[in-house]
């Protein structure tokens, strides 16, 4: 389907979203600085007994009421927008989950919030999780949690290969498969084009042998776009992963139209510029017209902007916060902004 066809299909997509409960599962496990600040600062409406609703709910959980909060019943997982992987037609939900930094833990401790992030992710209809061997122990954490939660079959696990040399590449592929506990893995990408020819050759062999379903390449810098373009033109790829956001819109010029023409699925990384976007809009109101495309937060404003480009298959925001996860998943539900609204969005952000 060409870009126009994809755009027309986008505008037909409608859906609805229910708020998830504010607290669920084992939120009490988290000992990070986020706990005290984030949990109680946002919508912590006082319920008139000396502490806020969230604090009250946390105490309820501590008293053994956790099972009453079932997020899977509170969100409509089937309302999330899906798009096809062009090469196969397989549909994937448009909001995925990044894991750089966020799923790296000290000695596998404090897994409670991450377990809850994964649980809510699936409850909200998400499937694609993106990780990499160089994200600390993230592959181990994901493999263990996904297996513990019995989510292996439901999730689309994407990892990367980043090393030099054929044999080292094969060893890394074996290690990722073992740590993520899934065979075949769903997607493996050459990370930031490191030793790209050798590792693409390794990936093709793995794909032919049935060890991985899809293969691709990634980068997160505009300076690498020429190299990405060359590979997208001259190589058979299932996926390309690149940086795309308000402030890094450059992929729109050549790479996104090229991906649509060549039938390559696109994962958009760094959707919040690794968090910088939130610092820029802090304390600034969303424009009133954001409700017209079902947008309730700055995270959704940013993600919906990205998803409104029809060549984007899936955006992969990273979070270790279960509430942020639900916020992000909301971007995949409801209307997306049209071209005129996207222009207004850019102008509004530039005016802040
Ligand atoms: N070369 C490559 O292949 C490459 C390069 C860069 C990134 N990536 C992939 O793309 C993923 C995403 O990019 P990124 O890690 O740079 O980060 P990002 O998704 O642009 O931003 C993550 C930051 O935003 C915060 N956040 C997330 N949701 C939020 C919400 N709803 N409200 C407020 N804050 C929110 C997170 O903190 P909280 O934890 O507090 O939510 C975190 O600080 C990576 O994790 C990785 O999987 C790949």
C-alpha 275 to ligand 1 mean position (Å): 6
φ/ψ of 226, rounded to 5, equals -65, -40
C-alpha 326 to ligand 1 mean position (Å): 14
Secondary structure string (H, E, C) spanning 154-168: CCEEEEEECCCCHHH
Which ligand 1 atom is the nearest neighbour of the CA of 245?
Answer: 20
pLDDT for 47 beyond 60: no
More confident residue, 113 or 3: 113
Q: Which domains does the chain have, with CATH numbers?
A: 3-19+77-351 (3.20.20.100), 22-68 (no CATH)
Among protein residues, the one whose CA lies closest to atom 4 of ligand 1: 220
The side-by-side arrangement of strands in the sheet containing 185-190 is 97-98, 128-130, 156-161, 185-190, 212-218, 239-243, 265-269, 314-315
Which ligand 1 atom is the nearest neighbour of the CA of 130?
Answer: 47
Rg (CA), the chain: 20
Ligand 1 binding pocket (C-beta < 6 A) is 34, 98-100, 102, 130, 191-192, 218-220, 241, 269-275, 278, 299, 316-321, 324, 327-328
Bridge partners of residue 217, in order along the sequence: 190, 240
Among protein residues, the one whose CA lies closest to atom 9 of ligand 1: 269
At 118-171, the pLDDT tens digits run 999 999 999 999 999 999 999 999 999 999 999 999 999 999 999 999 999 999
Q: d(Cα 189, Cα 93) in Å, to the nearest integer?
A: 19
Contact status, residue 214 vs residue 239, Cβ threshold 8 Å: yes
Burial of 73 (0-12, 13-18, 19+ CB in 10 A): exposed
At 201-244, the pLDDT tens digits run 999 999 999 999 999 999 999 999 999 999 999 999 999 999 99
Which ligand 1 atom is the nearest neighbour of the CA of 132?
Answer: 47
Q: What is the pLDDT confidence band of residue 78, given thresholds at 50, 70 and 90? A: confident
C-alpha 178 to ligand 1 mean position (Å): 25
pLDDT for 20 beyond 60: no
Among protein residues, the one whose CA lies closest to atom 31 of ligand 1: 324
Which ligand 1 atom is the nearest neighbour of the CA of 131?
Answer: 47
Among the listed residues 199, 192, 193, 187, the one whose alpha carbon sits nearest the alpha carbon of residue 158: 187
Residue 279, pLDDT score: 94
% of the chain residues with pLDDT over 70 = 78
- The strand ranges marked E within 155-208 are 156-161, 185-190
Residue 34, pLDDT score: 28
Q: Which of 110, 176, 274, 314 to mutate to test the pocket of ligand 1 (most atoms within 8 A of CB)?
A: 274
């Amino acid at each position: 389907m060409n870009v126009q066809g994809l755009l027309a299909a986008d505008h037909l997509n409608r859906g609805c979203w229910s708020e998830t409960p504010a607290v669920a599962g084992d939120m009490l496990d988290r000992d990070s600085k986020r706990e005290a600040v984030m949990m109680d600062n946002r919508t912590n409406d006082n319920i008139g007994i000396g502490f806020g609703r969230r604090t009250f709910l946390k105490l309820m959980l501590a008293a053994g009421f956790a099972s009453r909060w079932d997020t899977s019943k509170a969100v409509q997982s089937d309302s999330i927008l899906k798009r096809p992987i062009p090469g196969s037609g397989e549909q994937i939900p448009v909001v995925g989950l990044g894991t750089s930094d966020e799923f790296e833990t000290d000695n596998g401790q404090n897994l409670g919030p991450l377990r809850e992030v994964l649980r809510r992710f699936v409850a909200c209809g998400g499937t694609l999780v993106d990780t990499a061997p160089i994200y600390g122990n993230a592959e181990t954490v994901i493999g263990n949690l996904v297996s513990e939660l019995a989510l292996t079959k439901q999730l689309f696990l994407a990892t990367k290969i980043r090393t030099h040399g054929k044999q080292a590449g094969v060893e890394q592929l074996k290690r990722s498969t073992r740590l993520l506990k899934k065979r075949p893995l769903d997607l493996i990408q050459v990370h930031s084009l490191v030793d790209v020819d050798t590792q693409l050759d390794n990936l093709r062999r793995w794909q032919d042998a049935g060890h991985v379903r899809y293969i691709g390449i990634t980068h997160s810098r505009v300076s690498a776009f020429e190299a990405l373009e060359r590979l997208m033109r001259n190589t058979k790829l299932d996926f390309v992963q690149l940086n795309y956001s308000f402030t890094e819109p450059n992929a729109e010029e050549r790479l996104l139209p090229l991906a649509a023409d060549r039938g390559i699925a696109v994962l958009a990384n760094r959707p919040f510029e690794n968090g910088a976007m939130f610092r820029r809009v802090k304390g600034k109101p969303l424009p009133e017209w954001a409700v017209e495309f079902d947008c309730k937060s700055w995270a959704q404003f940013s993600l919906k902007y990205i998803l409104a480009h029809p060549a984007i298959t899936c955006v992969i925001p990273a979070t270790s916060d279960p509430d942020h996860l639900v916020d992000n998943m909301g971007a995949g539900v409801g209307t997306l902004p049209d071209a005129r609204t996207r222009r207004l969005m850019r102008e509004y952000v530039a005016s802040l």
